[in-house]
Amino acid sequence: MKIKFLNATLKSLILFFCIASVAQAGLITVSELQNQDVGGQNFNFSFNGLDLSNGTGGTFTVHARGDFSDSSSQTNETLSWDIESIFSASGIGGFNSALVGLGGPFTNVTEHVTSRNIEFTRTWNISALDLDNMLSDNVLEVFVDFASGVGALETPRYVEVIISYNSMTSVPEPSTLAIFALGMIGLASRRFKKQS
């Protein structure tokens, strides 16, 4: 009787741990690049069918190349962006020759051929709360606005947005504890059989 009770209890524990043990899916990264065709262009990016985040936040990256030189005649060579009226920034860019190569919060600031063709990358952290609000409908809408001073003379010229986060999707994972418990059941049942 004790053996049947012990056996049923251990099997229930193994089943529980096998069902309850899940791993979080890996990092999700979505990106899109759009070319600039006219000065002061606006861009709309839409990412559909996205999984919910696992509550740890994520990152938003803007990678752009074009006329972002901050000359004395045009000081509005910047971009602004907005994600679903939750997460936004304005006045990004405006590099003069003294800043190129330094970049401050920007990375990979490069001056290509002339001072009117500057490439840069900048990444912001998105809080878990903001990311959850943005992904509540499984769609991300991103709006990027180039100021009028961002001309379309130099090539290539583009803006790319990249969003990265860990998803909530559950993936079955073998549990070490369940495997250990199976081994213990095998040993216990073998011992009890020898005693019988």
pLDDT of res. 119: 85
Q: What is the mean pLDDT of residues 62-75?
A: 73
Query: For the CA atoms of 88, 159, 103, 79, what is the dihedral angle to 10 degrees?
Result: -50
Q: Cα dist. 129→26, 92, 135, 151, 187 in Å?
A: 20, 24, 10, 36, 48
**Where does the chain show beta strands of DSSP type E?**
22-24, 27-35, 42-48, 53-66, 78-83, 87-93, 107-111, 118-126, 139-146, 158-167, 170-172
Which pLDDT belongs to residue 196? Answer: 60
Region 162-186: mean pLDDT is: 71
- Percent of the chain having pLDDT more than 90? 17
> What dihedral do alpha carbons 153, 65, 138, 134 form, nearest 10°?
-100
pTM to 2 decimals?
0.68
Q: What is the mean pLDDT of residues 153-181?
A: 76
Residue 138 φ/ψ region, left for φ over 0, alpha for ψ in the -120 to 50 degree band, beta for the rest: left
Query: How does residue 158 score in pLDDT terms, banded at 50, 70 and 90?
Result: very high
User: What does the pLDDT read at residue 148?
Assistant: 83
Q: What is the pLDDT at residue 39? A: 86
Predicted local distance difference test score (pLDDT) of residue 21: 47
- Tokens of residue 62, six digits: 């803007």
- Break the chain into its structural domains and give their ranges: 25-169
Q: How many residues does the chain have?
A: 196
What's the mean pLDDT in 132-145? 89
Which of the two residues, 76 and 75, has the higher pLDDT score? 76
Give me the chain's average pLDDT, please. Answer: 76
Q: Which fold has domain 25-169?
A: Jelly Rolls (2.60.120)
